[in-house]
Chains A and B, each alone.
Chain A
Amino acid sequence: MNLLNLIDLNITWYILVGVLFTGYAMLDGFDLGVGAIHLFVRKDEHRRMFLNSIGPVWDGNEVWLVTGGGALFAAFPEAYATVFSGFYLPFMLLLCSLIFRAVAIEFRSKEEWGVWRQFWDVAFSLGSFVSSLLIGVAMGNIVRGIPLDADHEFAGTFLGLLNPYALLMGVTTVLLFAMHGAIYLSMKTEGELRGIVSGWVPRLIGLFLASYFLFNLYTLIEVPWVLDTVRARPYVFLVVAANVLIVLNIPREIHNGRDFNAFLSSCLAMGLMMVTFGLTYFPNMVLSTPDPANSLTIWNAASTQKTLGIMLIIAIIGVPLVLAYTASIYWVFRGKTSLTKHSY
């Protein structure tokens, strides 16, 4: 345990919880994104390709959300309790959308007739869209800060969570995931379909960057503390600049047919967005507004040092295993998707 004493466990867990949620965004992000753009192809065969490209992995991707939630609960129970009870209705809607979407993936392929497939296509796409939007809205509210009382209980309302700032973050998230999904599809498809989806990528990048730019602008107006923090931590600008450059690199990779590099860039861009958030937000877990004194931080929201230490041992054993499984599964299912009798 001596080695553990040298590490600041609270900061370590702030990073580890961030890593889990970033993993979730990178992985479930593309399958939610595939869902969001699902209706933009018309042919049944193309839609089946969309579904089968995510078929083996979407279930595993959602595990990152479960584990992220579990890690948040274990490491920062106060933050988990405050956010999950405060965001009661949006989270219930999110859960229902995620389940509804899973049902749609399974149901769609079971009957041939047009209306059946059309219905489940819409359900899949809508479920993916609403899930992405709500994830973004939750994130937007965390950035903006939510009203907390002295006992760290949420003191706002449901409608208060649907403020324009959070909604813009929601839209930005949908566009980010859609871009990410389209890049993933370029990597997994070939021929005519690849031509279609890779054609969307530059447009989605444009839309995303516009929305991202607007969001950052809005942040400076709506969330004044961000500017102060960034002034104190100017290196955040470097991360943002690197982020924009990497996003702009994607069309070049797509154009040169290096789809995997494009996908990697997109993952990296998402990672850098989370790093931007993490560096700016530190050391807060849930920012309270208008009274910042009630905020939850990595200290007052945390479990005991003992539990954080035990959890770190669990993470040291578990996380390399998790990364190994994830990498090997994606390795096994690398290459272009093809349709067989048992496909969706």
Chain B
Amino acid sequence: MTAEILARIQFAFTIAFHYIYPPLSIGLGVVLVMMEGLWLKTGNPLYHNMARFWTRIFALTFAIGVATGIVMEFEFGTNWSTYSRFVGDIFGSALAAEGIFAFFLESGFLALLLFGWNKVGPRMHFFSTCMVAFGAHFSAVWIVVANSWMQTPAGFHLETVVNGQPVVLPPGHIVTTADLTSVRAVVDDFWAMVFNPSSIDRLTHVVLGAWMAGAFLVVSISAYYLLRNRHIEFAKASLKIGLAFAAVATALQMVSADITAKGVVQNQPIKLAAMEGVFDTVPSTPMTLFGYVDGANETVVGPKIPGLLSFLAFNSFTRPVAGLRQLPPDDFLKARHPETPQEDLPQLRKSYWPNVPAVFQFYHIMIIIGVAMLGLVVVSCFFWWRGWLFDLNRPLTRWLLIALVFSVLGPQIANQAGWFTAEMGRQPWIVYDLLKTSEAVSKVVTANQIIASLVLFGLVYALLFVMFLFLLTRKIQHGPDNEEESEEMPDSWKALIRTTPRA
């Protein structure tokens, strides 16, 4: 394997592993704010127990998120140093802003959140919880902004150096391999970079995915306690909060998914065609519900709904969605390969496609899970409304709760699949239409070095994952403490509870 592929595998492995945890922290952060807020408002110790228990779960996901996040910050330089030189002027500032604004906020107040129960008053503690949740969202903002800039670059120009002086290159300059030691992208307009065409869509989509991850974790653990007949009051209250949050997040995610996909239609038509497996440009473009891409014959096998893709893309059942055989257009190819004869263009075109079968599958996994989560939420809310949700003598309720126990995996798999769709769908580009991934690697890093680091991370992350599951299981088995709160609560807190009327 080439160093490029290995560098991509290594990066994908470390980011996929990392991406298990921050979404949980973001989602659980919101849950913690809700629980502690309810406790301060009502003075009901049940909410206090809930906040304490879910804080312990949060702490675990957060710690691993930080530990694996440091790796990401290093890897832009270690694996993609040519990329770092090329975009440092733009990409670096978003990353530094994330560190300065988000990470310090999170980690600083996290210490109070975890260890400060008897060091600060309840209002200060609640404020810390809010700040941790806010910081977690803020870090998502900056990293998704940075990534969105790679998908839809904006607010920059290219610059080269001639005789030691910077020279502005005209818009549309095509970067060649020979350029890479001198040309770089520099910022024109910071806010145009931040609010590039895909930032808001993708940020909303990622944050809602994170909310779902956190909400369904709460739902899952609560459903488990109900089935096991343990901590019933605690589990009921947690399940209600988790389910309400999950319902809101899932419903909004459907809207966000539609908007995000429409954005991809506009900004990255090749990615969209790969996601849906569209090869030919035909009116009333159908949507394939599930199936597979027959790469040899360039067709998709599976049940199709005529016109649905046209409708989702353009709100018109007839308007055709551009297919891969037209993408990228001839002009784009000729500009980059003036020496290639017309008849060779179809073959050349394929080198500008991502791995269509993989992108198709990742995208469809995400969609199918999304729809399934929506179904699960609707059924659960129906049970709740009818008062069946906690009626454990009802066999259907037990089945539903079993489904809810496993529901935690849904958002996790969908988040990962979505990430792979977005990143693989962008290939062969690392910065869309500007810089190729193959040109972005570190020139001085050999394949063997990457293999060594891959093995090293494989071992350490396996250990880390075992630890995560082990500690999570223990915390779940241990459950919430009912007795501790009265004896550990500092006097200043008790006073507050006594003076707060019960709602």
Residues of A within 8 A of B (CB): 55-57, 59-60, 62-63, 65-67, 69-71, 73-78, 80-89, 91-93, 95-96, 98-100, 102-103, 106-107, 110, 151, 153-155, 158, 303-304, 306-307, 310-311, 314-315, 317-319, 321-322, 325-326, 328-329, 332-333, 341
Contact = CB atoms under 8 A, between A and B. Distances in A.
Contacts of A102: 63, 67
Interface string B223-259: 0000000000000000000000000000000000000
Interface stretch (B104-112, B214-222, B277-285, B323-331): B104-112
B266 to A, nearest CB: 28
B452 A89 contact: yes
Q: By DSSP majority rule, is chain A's interface helix, strand, loop, or mixed?
A: helix
B467 A103 contact: yes
Contact of B70 (A82, A98, A307, A328): A98
A280 B230 CA distance: 65
Interface in B107-152: 107-112, 114-116, 119-120
Contacts of B91: 73
A307 B105 contact: no
Contact of A73 (B60, B92, B188): B92
Contact of A63 (B77, B104, B159): B104
B316 interface: no
Contacts of B103: 63, 66-67
23 contacts: A56-B114, A62-B70, A74-B88, A75-B92, A77-B87, A80-B84, A80-B88, A84-B74, A84-B84, A85-B444, A85-B445, A89-B449, A91-B74, A92-B78, A99-B460, A106-B60, A304-B159, A307-B93, A310-B187, A322-B100, A332-B119, A333-B111, A333-B119
Contacts of B107: 59-60, 63
Given A63-B107, A310-B93, A81 B85 contact: yes
A329 B108 contact: yes
B456 A73 contact: no
Given A67-B104, A311-B93, A325-B105, A106 B88 contact: no
B73 interface: yes
B153 to A, nearest CB: 15
Contacts of A82: 81
A77 B88 contact: yes
Contact of A86 (B69, B108, B444, B474): B444
B399 interface: no
A55 B115 contact: yes
B78 A314 contact: no
Contacts of B188: 306
A325 B108 contact: yes
A288 to B, nearest CB: 14
A162 to B, nearest CB: 15
A96 B104 contact: no
B92 A80 contact: yes
Interface in B58-78: 60, 62-63, 66-71, 73-74, 76-78
A95 B77 CA distance: 13
Contacts of B70: 62, 65-66, 95, 98-99
A200 B63 CA distance: 31
Nearest to A319: B100
Contacts of A329: 108, 111-112
Contacts of B63: 59, 102, 106
A62 to B, nearest CB: 6
Contact of B82 (A65, A81, A86): A81
Given A85-B78, A91-B78, A329-B108, A314 B444 contact: no
Contact of B78 (A60, A84, A107, A326): A84
